Amino acid sequence: MNLLDGIDDPRDLRRLPPEQLPALARELRQFLLETVARTGGHLSSNLGTVELTLALHYVFDTPHDRLVWDVGHQTYAHKILTGRRERMGTLRQWGGLSGFPRRDESPYDTFGTAHSSTSISAALGQALAARAKGERRKVVAVIGDGAMTGGMAFEALNNAGVHPEADLLIVLNDNDMSISAPVGALNRYLARLLSGRFYASARDAAKQVLKAAPPPLLALARRLEEQAKGLVAPGTLFEEFGVEYFGPIDGHDLHALVPTLQNLRERGGPRLLHVVTRKGYGYKLAEADPIKYHGPGRFDPAVGIKPPAEAPRPTFAQVFGHWLCDMAQADSRLMAVTPAMCEGSGMVEYAARFAQRYFDVGIAEQHAVTFAAGLACEGMRPVVAIYSTFLQRAYDQVIHDVALQKLPVVFAIDRAGIVGADGATHTGAYDIAALRCLPGMVLMAPSDELECRRMLSTAFALDGPSAVRYPRGAGIGAEVDRSDLSTLPVGRAQLRRQGRAPAGRRLALLAFGPVLHTALKAAEELDATVVDMRFIKPLDLDMLQRIAAAHDAVVTVEEGAVLGGAGSACLEELQRLGWQLPVLNLGLPDTWLEHGDPAHVTAAAGLDAAGLLRSIRERFGPLLGQADAPRREAANS
């Protein structure tokens, strides 16, 4: 690692002669592979952008020139080159480096991100702000071909095209060959030619000459230019937006990348460079299976990812995937929709077996929801598989296109609650507060795998909108019968433990979702009643009445934002029903949860058993016969 050890920031990089960059790229790729193998994280996408990252920092004067990444799961090389090499061993760990760009982590992270299709909008804003302040600054947005399926990217392109004064370069990182055919020497030569001064000068001169030409002649010249470029480059679409197109170019060829970027740096206005890369590049196992190596845990790079010695418990996503296939077999109306999360949402088997009823709409959450609404209008029963954090992006569509029209769309909300290493950008904290306020919405939270399956069947049987929220990872291992498509009574909770404390000390815990099992542990020590509430909306009002009548205090527990969450719903109903007993709402706090091991994050949020006990005793110490004990301990400490 002789070259890499000498790179503490991009200024060191820019001192190297160009002929040393390929060797540095090899060192950087090896360091990146070894680091991710120790910590886990996004691998395939980062291996594919090593040369591109080197070239961008080599050519542009970062951080004065702004570099904006889309999604950000391809920025590990960027982090290594911008002074964070020594901290890469802390990647995605509590108190360590984020797996995504963060403005508070480095001045080189000019825009925080982890969701898709935001880079062009942010970069355009930065470019126009620089012009308004009279600052000479280049702004570069790096966006993948997957992120280009998001409507927001095209909204930004549409806006960028009417701002020729914006000094904005868009780098389209095409890593699935989904836009262009394989590139070679001819395309590399053409990319350099089209980005060079001779072509630019000739083109600008032609524009000046044609300014005075009759409109038919001007239109003909434009068509001829577009058709000529279209023979070798798929850039007509971008040109129609008013964005100059250059490429495609091999994104792993530094001898082509650097001079092309140098040429484009000298040009102004909105322009787009199409770069073709390969996910997992340089590591044969990741090249062969980039999906498997997209976000691995710890592994030995010499051996690769090996299956666990013992079969792991099925995840909630797998439970959903099995239910999806079984229900589709039983009911031909089922149509499954996903915004580009087939593998993550457990839909691989369904996509293979029911290809005609499977719709991956790309990274386009808004379209996914309204598309599902259209299916429902015609008698279909669409199921939208979506992460909680991504459902936020389609909130207007959920309200306006589904709920308002009372359409039977099922939202299977994965990654609800704490997600661990992905951190605040992916934490599923807000779906409860967002959905429970919608008239007619039925919202459920299963405590285990069997309940998840039955709630999905319940949602599917309803004639209006519904949602089932479940967490990332596995549950408690509840046995699931794949022939079971039975439903649950809507709005019916279940008593799971009856407390035996005497009058005056009777405590009840109302749990929503898998946090039920943590509540049961705490209840053993407190001798408290525990209810699996199951339904967030509608609440079981009969159960609430019974609990209020038989207990002296109530604690609600949920793995969602405590503000406006399920606990708030219980408070609202208890107040409406006239009950005045004290209530403690426990859930995700009003702060951004940092990344780290899920157990650590859960403990930090106070939602492990020890945290529940601590919060309950602090609030209800006298009621539990432990008056002032927490206060004395705090004073002594």
Residues 96-115: b if buried by 16+ CB within 10 A, e if exposed = bbbbbbbeebbebbbbbbbb
The helix (H) or strand (E) run that includes residue 286 is helix 284-288
Other beta carbons less than 10 A from residue 472's beta carbon = 21
279, 357, 415, 469: the catalytic one is: 279
Return the CA Rg of the chain.
Answer: 28
Cα angle value 393/243/198 (rounded, 5°): 150
β-bridge pairing 494-497 and 529-532: antiparallel
| Residue 51 a catalytic site member | no
For residue 614, give the 3-state DSSP assignment: helix
Distance CA 565, CA 275 (A): 45
Bridge partners of residue 558, in order along the sequence: 512
Q: In what order do the strands lie in the sheet with 358-360?
A: 358-360, 334-338, 381-387, 410-414, 466-469, 442-444, 535-537
State the first-to-last Cα distance of the chain, in angstroms, to the nearest integer.
48
In sequence order, the 6+-apart residues with CB closer than 8 A to the CB of 354 are 325, 328, 336
Alpha helix positions (H), 380-499: 388-391, 395-397, 431-435, 449-461
Burial of 447 (0-12, 13-18, 19+ CB in 10 A): buried
- CA 359/CA 372 separation, integer angstroms: 10
Query: Do residues 447 and 511 lie in contact, with contact meaning Cβ atoms separated by under 8 Å?
Result: yes
For residue 302, the tally of other CB atoms under 10 A from its CB is 6
Sheet holding 244-250, edge to edge: 66-69, 139-144, 168-174, 271-276, 244-250
- Which of 239, 244, 365, 559 is catalytic? The answer is 365
Q: Give 210-266 as a DSSP string.
A: HTTS-HHHHHHHHHHHHHHHHTT---HHHHHTT-EEEEEEETT-HHHHHHHHHHHHT
Give the Cα separation of 625 and 617 in Å (integer).
10
Q: Is 79 within 8 Å of 97 (Cβ atoms)?
A: yes
Q: In 454-544, at which residue ranges do the beta strands (DSSP E only) sit?
A: 466-469, 494-497, 507-512, 529-532, 535-537
What lies within 8 Å, CB to CB, of 569 at 6+ separation is 436, 536, 537, 539
Torsion-angle region of residue 540: left (phi > 0), alpha (psi -120 to 50) or beta?
Answer: beta
Whether 306 sits among the annotated catalytic residues: the reply is no
Q: Which of 92, 357, 393, 453 is an active site residue?
A: 393
Q: What tokens appear for 422 in the block?
A: 């992905």
Residue type for position 56 = L
Closest Cα partner for 57 from 110, 12, 119? 12
Catalytic status, residue 155: no
Determine the number of helices (DSSP H) and then strands (DSSP E) in the chain. 26, 17
Catalytic residues: 279, 365, 393
